[in-house]
Amino acid sequence: MGAGHSHPLYLAGTSAVHRLPAEVKIVAAFLGVVCVVITPREAFAVFGGYLLVLAGVWVCARIPLGWIARRSLIEAPFVVLAVLLPFTGGAPSVEWLGVSLSEPGLLAAWNILVKGTLGVLTSLTLAATTPLRDLLLGLQRLRAPSLVVTIATLMLRYVDVIAGEARRMRLARIARGHDPRFLWQVGATARGVGALFVRSYERGERVHLAMLSRGWAGEMPRLSDAVTRRRDWLVGLSPVALAAALAVTGLVTA
Amino acid sequence: MTVPTVTTSLAVSGLAFAYPDGHQALHGVDLRIGRGERVALLGPNGAGKTTLVLHLNGILTAGAGSVAVGGLPVEKRNLREIRRRVGLVFQDPDDQLFMPTVAEDVAFGPANFGVTGDALAARVRTALERVGMAEHADRSPLHLSGGQRRRVALATVLACEPEILVLDEPSSNLDPTARRELAEVLLDLDVTMLMVTHDLPYALQLCPRSVVLDDGEVVADGPTRELLADPDLLRRHRLELPYGFTLA
């Protein structure tokens, strides 16, 4: 795929992981997350195992640890709640450095933190090795609802067009002396958003006409009839097999 | 089965249409375009040009009168084939190019019409070669220049192998070089063509015949050079040659 489909979470490469068909990676990531979610929170060592499996995938895909660590910070706002739990949870409590922490609260926080982090790391791994366009093709091959695939495909094409339009409208406002610094000055910006919506809506109608004119029948045509090879499934799902084994270990020992 | 030789690509007769708000956009339009002809459709803003164009592939349905493309009437049950036969190139390539890559966009039409596999790939390659864009197949339309986008938009329609190519303002928003390059591509194509335009020199360069539409009626139909050399006709229908442009 050419440039222009790269996104900030994509790390261009030619590794075995990059070359796997997107549908295999989507299924693998989904099943991997399922394994993590069903693991009992007390099975501490098992979560370490999941991290090792992911690290193995990163080595294969040549993703530097720092690269993925920086992007995983996206999770931070979502785990703030988890930090509060040890202080707000019920008895029994433990003393730690003179602070009384709730034991169930600590466990609940750990549960959110570890599962959330592993989920984010898995998604980042998928995103780092798969261009957006391939993700959509993968979803199409996995028979995702065609409306969803269509909307996502069009969004991929038009998000930059609409952003460009918004930029030009902003320039036009600034060029006429608009300088919103205070809340009561945002009226023009709000009207701009409204105008942008109307413009995008009208563009949507024109695009629909253009699609009808070329025989659109309600579904994105399948442009390639490539079939996913059994070997790719086997290779792609091998980390999932490890994760499944870990999940079973966790369930049995807990 | 023997197919009768059809020499008329487009036959419009007595076409009338009113928008739901009551505005009568077309008052009985008659137009016949022979196979291989290149015709310019001229007229002021609001003359009904776009309304007429949207009738040609059945996006709008006639209030009265009829349209036939290559002998096939524009009717609900024929719509699919009609839309393959009428290649509509829209004014804004950003409306026309909606797929993530150039190649996928060119493949969209033929794939909808049932072309698959190697045949589809060959269609895409040929169409892109005809407009000189083969080396950009895997790029996003977003990263092409205006002229390149216009040529890709043309390729998306050529890939459907249309009976008639309908272009809406092909030269708008193009710089002079891109405008000339597009003209060269269009002159090289061996297809029937109806070109809606305000760009009178472009009509003169590309289309031997012109039709003037005003207020929903065909008011003139003849050789482009003769029509453009009639200052009264041009003035009556709000058409103007660019400053300094004279027909020798």
Q: What are B194's two structure tokens?
A: 């109806």
Residue A250 pLDDT level (bands cut at 50, 70, 90): confident
Chain B residues 24-53 with a CB less than 8 Å from chain A: none
Q: Half-sphere exposure of B215 toward its Cβ, with a 13 Å CA cutoff?
A: 4
**For residue B2, pLDDT beyond 60:** no
With CA atoms as reference, the chain A residue closest to B81 would be: A215
Chain B contact for A212, CB < 8 A?
yes
Mean pLDDT computed over A154-167: 86
Please write the tens of the pLDDT for every residue from A188-206: 778 888 888 998 999 999 9
Residue B1 pLDDT level (bands cut at 50, 70, 90): very low
B88 forms beta bridges with B166
Residue B244 falls within a domain, yes or no? no
Residue B242 falls within a domain, yes or no? no
Q: What are A145's two structure tokens?
A: 């609802």
Please write the tens of the pLDDT for every residue from A214-232: 988 877 787 776 778 888 8
**For residue A103, pLDDT beyond 80:** yes
- Residue B97: name the closest of B74, B131, B69 by CA: B131
Q: What pTM was estimated for this model as a whole?
A: 0.79
C-beta separation of B178 from B147 below 8 A? yes
CA A98 to each of CA A42, A151, A238, A246: distance values in angstroms, whole numbers, following the listed order: 25, 54, 46, 36
Nearest to A4 among B94, B116, B143 (CB): B143
Chain B residues 126-165 with a CB less than 8 Å from chain A: 138-143, 156-157, 160
Mean pLDDT computed over B139-151: 92
Residue B221 falls within a domain, yes or no? yes
Q: Which helix (H) or strand (E) holds B72?
A: strand B72-73
Residue B14 falls within a domain, yes or no? yes
CB contacts, 8 Å: B98 with chain A: 154, 157-158, 207, 210-211
What are the backbone angles phi and psi of residue B175, rounded to the nearest 5°?
-75, 165
Chain A contact for B101, CB < 8 A?
yes
- The pLDDT of residue B38: 96
Residue A1 pLDDT level (bands cut at 50, 70, 90): very low
Tell me the residue type at A23.
Answer: E
Residue B2 falls within a domain, yes or no? no
CB contacts, 8 Å: B83 with chain A: 212-215
Mutating which of A223, A224, A227 best tests the B interface, going by the most B Cβ atoms within 10 A?
A223
CATH of the domain at B23: 3.40.50.300
**For residue B128, pLDDT beyond 80:** yes
Residue A219 C-alpha, separation from nearest chain B C-alpha, in angstroms? 9
Nearest to B80 among A5, A215, A223 (CB): A215
pLDDT averaged over chain B? 92
CB contacts, 8 Å: A1 with chain B: 101, 138
Q: Is B16 exposed, middle or buried (0-12, 13-18, 19+ CB in 10 A)?
A: middle
Residue B246 falls within a domain, yes or no? no
Residue B122 falls within a domain, yes or no? yes
Nearest to B112 among A132, A203, A215 (CB): A215
The span from the CA of B147 to the CA of B176, in Å, is 10
- Interface predicted TM-score of the whole assembly (ipTM), two decimals: 0.82
Answer whether B95 sits within 8 Å of A207, measured CB to CB.
Answer: yes
Mutating which of B59, B89, B112, B138 best tests the A interface, going by the most A Cβ atoms within 10 A?
B112
C-beta separation of B202 from B171 below 8 A? yes
CB contacts, 8 Å: A155 with chain B: none
Chain A contact for B57, CB < 8 A?
yes
Answer whether B95 sits within 8 Å of A214, measured CB to CB.
Answer: no
The span from the CA of A1 to the CA of A135, in Å, is 12
| Structural domain count, chain B | 1
- The pLDDT of residue B4: 52
Domain span at B23: 8-236
Chain A contact for B83, CB < 8 A?
yes
B211 forms beta bridges with B41, B221
Residue A222 C-alpha, separation from nearest chain B C-alpha, in angstroms? 7
Chain B contact for A2, CB < 8 A?
yes
- The pLDDT of residue A132: 85
The span from the CA of A234 to the CA of A170, in Å, is 51
